[in-house]
Amino acid sequence: MLISIQHDKDLLECPWIMRRNENKIYYFKYKFTETNEYLFLLTDLCLVWFEHGTFERMKQDALQELGMEIKDTAAMDIILNRIKATLAAKVLDFDIKTATGHVKVHLPLEKCIQSDIATLSWVFHCTLLDQENQSKDYLSGPQFILQHFIIPSQTIINYFTENVLEDLPDKFRVTRAASVYTNQSLAYLSNLLINATNGISVSESQELTSEESRQILELRRKQEEEREKELKRKQDLEEYNLKQKQKPIAPKRLKRL
């Protein structure tokens, strides 16, 4: 199986989400299309798995995994909305089961409060991307990892190795990139680096929009400027007082009787 260039472009602007499963780190991204289908991609940076959730495929999965017979799109929309809500909540408790050629990602949609056991789960059936490809209209697993991880990472390393000077926040603002893949990753990491230098945590940064992040940075810059001004005033006052103490005392003149 290969992933088409179109699906790759559709997923390009979707953020990567990292999850740990059985002491192994996975990255995944997803997108719901206007035709009520979904794209779901998972990678451990060695292999890549992908599923295109069409109506027919979801209908088959619902029958196989949930024992539910879906006859129309209205019923499928209910399940899709539940999947969207669960993913949007970002409280994801994935159970990832890998096997030769495919992987099953179990996403709990409902849990029993007393036992914390999933009473309703959706299973993403992802197929392993091929390791070789001769077509320009598709990407293999290694090609996908190269475009989305290796090239952006190497570009970032090269850029900061060659361009980092004393004024780090300004240098973090990358404006050029080798490709759309590196441009997206550079912008994302640049934002994280700028936020880190201004006291915003990674988790906070991921929740903020670019405008909110900019406003917080501007506020913190002003606060920092005020602190620096206050510190400068204190230093100036201390220097002034010190100079006053060091001045020689002029002898008092005796009054004539």
pLDDT in tens, 43-99: 999 999 999 988 888 888 888 777 778 777 788 888 888 888 888 876 667 788 888
pTM comes to 0.61
- Looking at residue 113, its pLDDT comes to 47
- Looking at residue 154, its pLDDT comes to 79
CB atoms within 10 A of CB 158: 11
pLDDT in tens, 126-178: 999 999 998 889 999 999 998 888 888 877 777 766 665 445 555 455 555 44
pLDDT in tens, 185-209: 555 555 555 555 455 444 444 444 4
What would the mean pLDDT of 197-223 be, rounded to a whole number? Answer: 54
The percentage of the chain sitting over the pLDDT mark of 90, rounded to a whole number, equals 15
Contact between 186 and 152 under an 8 Å Cβ cutoff? The reply is yes
Distances (CA, A) of 143 to 42, 97, 134, 158, 194: 14, 24, 11, 21, 30
Listed by start position, the domains of the chain span: 3-128, 140-207
Q: Which of 207, 152, 211 is nearest to 182 (CA)?
A: 152
Please give the span between the terminal C-alpha atoms of the chain, in angstroms, as a whole number.
Answer: 114
CA distance 33 to 53: 10
Q: How far does Cα 108 stand from its chain's mean position?
A: 22
Q: Report, at the CATH architecture level, how domain 3-128 is classified.
A: Beta Complex (2.170)
- Looking at residue 163, its pLDDT comes to 64
